[in-house]
Amino acid sequence: MTTDQLDVAKPKAHGPDFALFLVIGVALLVLAALYPAARVVDAYFDSKRPLYDDVSEMAWIQYNYYQLEGEAYPIEVQGGQSVTVGDQTYAVNPGVELAVRATEDGWCIKGHDDHGNSGDWCFPGDVDPGNPN
């Protein structure tokens, strides 16, 4: 008998199934590693939500008042307090403070919260800021 006649099992090469499982495994590891970072980023943006919600609501209330009276309604409101502007009442989220000042052509809202987020937003009286509801 010669060696070319022997039935010797040849080692099986890694086929496309192995490569697919390897790619899926690496992708899952990357996703697992990114999950904590995504949670941190999400928490950061969620901390700003109450401030932006209050500014948006106050801009809408001031716009409605401006349309009726032709001027803004200057106020300062602390977190958790309610404020009535014209016929609309709004309770500011806890931890958020807003101050509205009138300008020549509209109003500006200065706000900050307990998380250190702050901003100063100005609106012209003839431009609808959009109903946040």
pLDDT at 65 (0 to 100): 95
The predicted-structure confidence for 73-107, as pLDDT tens digits, reads as follows: 999 999 989 999 999 999 999 999 999 999 999 99
Here the tokens at position 88 are: 């609309």
Residue 14 has pLDDT above 70, yes or no: no
- CA distances 39 to 3, 22, 35, 126, Å, are 63, 26, 6, 40
Place of tokens 């100005």: 122
pLDDT at 121 (0 to 100): 95
Q: Which residue has the higher pLDDT, 34 or 13?
A: 34
**109 CB-side CA count, 13 A:** 26
- Sequence-distant (≥ 6) Cβ neighbours of residue 83 within 8 angstroms: 75, 77, 89, 90, 91, 92
Here the tokens at position 75 are: 């106020």
Instruction: Output the 3-class SS for 61-109.
Output: HHHHHHHHHCCCCCEEECCCCEEEECCEEEECCCCEEEEEEECCCEEEE
Rounded to two decimals, what is the model's pTM? 0.69
Residue 17 has pLDDT above 60, yes or no: yes
Q: What is the mean pLDDT of residues 100-118?
A: 94
The predicted-structure confidence for 25-81, as pLDDT tens digits, reads as follows: 999 999 999 999 999 988 888 888 999 999 999 999 999 999 999 999 999 999 989
Per DSSP, 114 falls in state T
